Amino acid sequence: MLLLYPEKVPMLQCNFILHRLDFDFLASKAPDANCHLKVSVHFHKDWIVRNSCFDGNWGEPEIKENLDELAIPRPLEPGKRFRLQILVTEDRFLIGFNDIHYCSYKFRGRLSDIRTLKIHKDVQYVNQVDHRTCYPSPRPLIQYNEDHHSFSNDVPKKFMPGHAMIISAIPYGNPKGRFTIYFFENETKKQALHFNARFDQQIVVRNSTNDKLSFREEETSGEFPFVFDQQFKLAIALSTTHFLIAIDGRRFCMYKYRTQNQFDSLNGFKIYCLDQLRLEVATVDHIYTGSPSCQEFETFSNPDLQLY
């Protein structure tokens, strides 16, 4: 679920190839969902088209309209990493590429209806989908350079018990590599959860760091749940006392919070890969499980369950 409201900044970082790249801000994942904003990059025409579609009817496209007076016609180069930044104001989107304002686009529907971001066409990989508030104060406080992370997903609102993140991804590259999913505490490098999948040892290490950034005692119980080159669906739910983790419809482990008032310090998660392993993140969903204890949260990690 993607929630947008004034003063929110989605930041996307991608690598792409070939001829076209589309960013769709949708009301749902349904094939016929209303599209509140489509940003479509046409490399062969040096166009970046903006449009909306409601009830199956596309509006008037904007190509040269509402451009910044200093906007260059081709702010992106095929095959090179870039950042798309969108600032949500009271009545329009402000769209920029690589820290440079490009254009504005006035809302054509209700901002509160936007729930899903779809990135498609000729995209190679996405390694950052971060959301921040700017006013009255920034959250998360600091926007890190995420070039060294395989994926980043910051959120602009305080987590609450019952929240769950559903991650679908495929590990590839070196079959003896490792990947880590971790949660920083606020603007520090202190880790509230360090979830480290080690293909070389066939174990998953759970840990956290203390105020001196030293690791605590590792937890490694449970069979290794990942298969190389095979997509998995992982749910991380936040109960009142624990991180709860399920993979492909089955509960895997839990990890007790080590910090008081843990929800005050969580901003989102990062993924880091080691030893030439790559993790291609296909989807990320944020949902409310229905209860602070996250009862039956594992059902959301069922590969056959479609989340809308």
User: Do 201 and 307 belong together in one domain?
Assistant: yes
Residue with token string 């229905």: 290
Domain boundary residue among 138, 173, 205?
A: 138
Question: Phi, psi (5° rounding) for residue 178?
Answer: -140, 155
> Rounded CA gap, 105 and 82, in Å?
20
Buried b (16+ CB within 10 A) or exposed e, 96-108: bbeeebbbbbebb
Domain-terminating residue out of 138, 171, 194: 138
Give pLDDT, residue 287: 95
- Residue 70 and residue 183 in one domain: no
The verdict on residue 179 lying in a domain is yes
Regarding whether 132 and 4 lie in a shared domain, the answer is: yes
Answer whether residue 149 is part of any domain: no
Distance CA 43, CA 288 (A): 39
pLDDT recorded at residue 135: 73
Q: Are strands 116-133 and 191-198 parallel, antiparallel or unpaired?
A: unpaired
Amino acid 290 reads G
Residue type, 137: S
Q: Any idea what the CATH number is for the domain that residue 129 is in?
A: 2.60.120.200
Write out the residue range of the structural domain in which residue 302 sits: 159-308
DSSP state string for 68-112: -TT--S----TTS-EEEEEEE-SSEEEEEETTEEEEEEE-SS-GG
How far is 216 from 223, CA to CA, in rounded Å? Answer: 21
> Do 74 and 21 sit in the same domain of this protein?
yes
Co-location of 206 and 75 in the same domain: no
Whether residues 166 and 214 share a domain: the answer is yes
Dihedral sign for Cα atoms in the order 168, 238, 220, 128: positive
Give the pLDDT means over successive 10-residue stretches in the chain (308 positions): 45 65 95 97 90 98 94 84 91 94 97 94 87 75 69 90 97 97 92 98 98 96 97 98 98 97 93 96 94 97 91
The answer on 116 and 42 residing in a single domain is yes
Asked whether residue 308 falls in the same domain as residue 164, the answer is yes
Q: Do 51 and 96 share a structural domain? A: yes
Among all chains, which residue has been given the structure tokens 């520090």?
A: 188
- Do 132 and 163 fall into the same domain? no
Read off the DSSP letter of residue 139.
B
Based on the fold, state whether residues 102 and 36 are members of the same structural domain: yes
**What pLDDT is stored for residue 243 in this prediction?**
98
Domains of the chain: total: 2
Considering 138, 172, 198, which residue would you say is the last residue of a domain?
Answer: 138
